Amino acid sequence: MDISLSFFLIFSMLVIPSSSTTTRSTLNSRSSLSVEKPNDILISPNGVFAAGFHPVGDNAFVLAIWFAKSSSPTVVWTANRDQPVNGKASKLSLLKYGNLILTDGGQNTIWSTPTTTSAAMVQLALLNTGNLVLNSSKSSILWQSFDSPTDTLLPLQMFTRYTTLVSSRSQTNQSSGFYKLFFDNNNLLSLLYNGPKVSSIYWPDPWRMPWDSGRTTFNSSKIAILDTSGYFVSSDFVKFKSADLGLGIQRRLTLDLDGNPRLYSLDEKTGNWTVTWQAMVDPCRVHGICGPNSICSYGSGSGRGCSCLPGHKIKNESDWSYGCELEHNLPDNDQ
């Protein structure tokens, strides 16, 4: 062996702890990931997904899973979207008895899994599907991220009566927003706008009977799934398929911040996402999109525009969901 090469090997073994040099997909008990070490992430064996701390603002981080191969990291799951932790001393730790806990710099527990086990060994693993799984040596699943989606459903992730998708608040704020996808009490996969002042269902079309929208209320199993070739099927008869149907393409179903669920496919060459299906062809039908005292109309660009009713002005220039208020600073009488 070349002397300089062997010197290099010895040198690198001395200075670099082995855990941070190799990409790994698992975390064993009594170990942790630190927010201060950018390399402290798990990578799925196929290289498609990554899990770890993800920045969401100034000194603010969430524990997240994201697509590692898209041009900008596309987050598909977060543990603490409404309570980001700070960039100093925050940690994700897998405790001896199987609890996964997220602590901030002040050692407060911000999030944890409700798991304990007597098993000798527990392991956290990021699987090729994008599912972060906590399992025990008895090989049973103690907890999995697929059971608590954020705004995105991945192929093979079961959508059930216990799960919801909630949109992000805005382009720059990933905390819980106003739109929600869930199974309602009539067994229908529904979209709800739950705004600061009003709350209403906008999908399926509230003015039509469910069967006129191609739905059934009779199947109470309340399950839906997107398969790996791009077919989505739900127990209430919602069915759709990706425009690029077929295996071998990374896809995600995301409830976007405009309240429209869209199916996306990844172009692995550019790292860009393409929309291959969307629920609402008519974006003005999404409730609350322009907020109170405003009208939605079709314009250029994204295809939708908001404007205030006559005599009103926009309440918050950066966020239409606040709607419009009367001009001349009259008090807002419905607060």
Ligand X SMILES: *[C@@H]1O[C@H](CO)[C@@H](O)[C@H](O)[C@H]1NC(C)=O
Which chain residues interact with ligand X by CB under 6 A?
57, 71, 121, 123, 125, 133, 135, 137, 139, 169-170, 173, 175, 219, 221, 223, 235, 270-272, 316, 318-319
Whichever of 94 and 282 has its CB closer to ligand X, that residue is: 94
- Say which DSSP state 320 is in: G
Whichever of 282 and 332 has its CB closer to ligand X, that residue is: 332
Whichever of 94 and 296 has its CB closer to ligand X, that residue is: 94
Q: Minimum distance from CB of 137 to ligand X (Å)?
A: 4
Q: Minimum distance from CB of 110 to ligand X (Å)?
A: 15
Q: Minimum distance from CB of 176 to ligand X (Å)?
A: 8
Q: Distance (Å, rounded) from C-alpha 242 to C-alpha 263? A: 7
Whichever of 37 and 138 has its CB closer to ligand X, that residue is: 138
Please report, to the nearest 10 degrees, the dihedral formed by the alpha carbons of residues 64, 67, 71, 74 taken in order: -50
**Before 204, cis peptide (omega within 30)?**
yes
Q: Minimum distance from CB of 230 to ligand X (Å)?
A: 17
Q: Which of 138, 31, 135 is nearest to 146 (CA)?
A: 135
Whichever of 4 and 140 has its CB closer to ligand X, that residue is: 140
Q: Distance (Å, rounded) from C-alpha 77 to C-alpha 145? A: 8
Q: Minimum distance from CB of 9 to ligand X (Å)?
A: 29
Q: Minimum distance from CB of 248 to ligand X (Å)?
A: 20
Q: String of b and e for 25-54 (b: at least 16 CB within 10 Å)? A: bebebeeebebeeeebbbbbeeebbbbbbb
Q: Minimum distance from CB of 212 to ligand X (Å)?
A: 19
* SS3 state of residue 182: strand
Q: Distance (Å, rounded) from C-alpha 101 to C-alpha 93? A: 5
Whichever of 107 and 139 has its CB closer to ligand X, that residue is: 139
Whichever of 12 and 221 has its CB closer to ligand X, that residue is: 221
CB neighbours of 19 closer than 8 A, spacing ≥ 6? Answer: none
- Mind spelling out the 3-state secondary structure of 252-297? EEEECCCCCEEEEEEECCCCEEEEEEECCCCHHHCCCCCCCCEEEE
* SS3 state of residue 106: coil
